[in-house]
Amino acid sequence: MRYADVAKAERIRIYDVARVAGVSVATASKALNDTGRMTEQTRERVKQTAAALGFRPNAMARALTQQRSFTIGLLTNDTYGRFTLPVMAGVAEALVDQGVSVFLCGIEDDAALGQIHVDAMRDKQVDGIIAAGKRIDRRLPVDLSNLAIPVVYVFTEGPEDAITLVSDDEQGAREAVEWLVQLGRQRVVHITGPASFASVTARETAYRDVVGAGAQVLNGPWSEAWGHEAVAKLWDAEGPHPDGIFCGNDQIARGVVDALRERGVDVPGDVSVVGFDNWEIVAAATRPPLSTVDMNLKEMGREAGRLILQLAEGKAVPAGIRKLPCKLLVRQSCGSALRASHSNGEARLGI
């Protein structure tokens, strides 16, 4: 039977794959599930046949056979999506090839709404839940600790015995400040967000470790307006002005760059500026484009997807906080010799 003839059927079944590949149904099933003993040539032939026919495993049959729903719930209070959407993209990439679907539930900071979504996930018999937040030192407003299904926490605080993924803020900040120092900047100031944030503390710690004596930290809101205000404080004060500014996020950094330009201060000629987050819609629109630290949220999502899949399959995964490395993205706002060798004006540093 030709592929085209089989493809005309309303639904391609595993029987069709087995017939075209010239194997038994049992062999076809084992080949597609990477189980059983057979030659690699046979396994590959079955997989190629299935792909050519457009075969899709029956989700209900798989669920009944393996006692799984092949669905994962993503629960978040980050309804704006700044952190959750990149995480969601990474989770989907990690699970799509495994035939696992992901559905997103936004709960804002509403405990009652959160419980409704959790109950709905349990009714749907999801294989696991990924809990994602908007800051690493706050928990979601719903208790997931006693569920009978696995939970992985991403960019939010989880119980001590849970698996939690966060970005390594201290490592990322250290690379950013070290880069400014390597550029010859001698008066590097740190303009950042509220001191109550754990991420602010981690980034400030790294900054102070690199700069040492003379370190100066200005705390304020996570906003462009605060970037403008901080520049006014620094430039209206007596004494030498900073020649390097490390900002706690990209919004602050954009405000800093705009405020410096309004004062006739050249960026990066007079002052190098580095942000944090790599919020591309902000970093790319800054003039000049903003050097910043990427928290690798998409990779964090991929790792969360891999871990929740392992847990759903009954595999043992050690609990604890896992810090994923950040990457420094060098663009025009801090100035460097590397720019000339990168056609897109961006150099990547870090692990």
Ordered by start, the domain boundaries in the chain are 66-167+297-325, 169-295+328-350
Q: Do domains 66-167+297-325 and 169-295+328-350 have the same CATH topology?
A: yes
| DSSP letter string, 247-307 | ESSHHHHHHHHHHHHHTT--TTTT-EEE-SB--HHHHTTSSSPPBEEE--HHHHHHHHHHH
Residue 250 CB neighbour total at 10 angstroms: 27
Amino acid at 284: A
CATH number of 169-295+328-350: 3.40.50.2300
In this predicted model, what pLDDT tens digit does every residue of 259-273 receive, in sequence order? 999 999 999 999 999
In this predicted model, what pLDDT tens digit does every residue of 103-138 receive, in sequence order? 899 998 899 999 999 999 988 889 999 999 999 999
Q: What is the pTM of this model?
A: 0.77
Statement: 66-167+297-325 belongs to CATH 3.40.50.2300: yes
| DSSP letter string, 229-241 | HHHHHHHHSSSPP
Task: Give the Cα separation of 57 and 50 in Å (integer).
Answer: 10
Please report which residue ranges of 129-247 form alpha helices under DSSP H.
169-182, 198-211, 224-236
Of the given ranges (37-41, 53-57, 291-295), which has the lowest mean pLDDT?
53-57
In this predicted model, what pLDDT tens digit does every residue of 66-112 receive, in sequence order? 556 788 999 999 988 888 889 999 999 888 777 788 889 999 889 99
Task: Give the Cα separation of 267 and 260 in Å (integer).
Answer: 8
Dihedral Cα 78, 79, 83, 89, nearest 10 deg: 120
Write the burial class of residue 202 (CB in 10 Å: 0-12 exposed, 13-18 middle, 19+ buried): buried
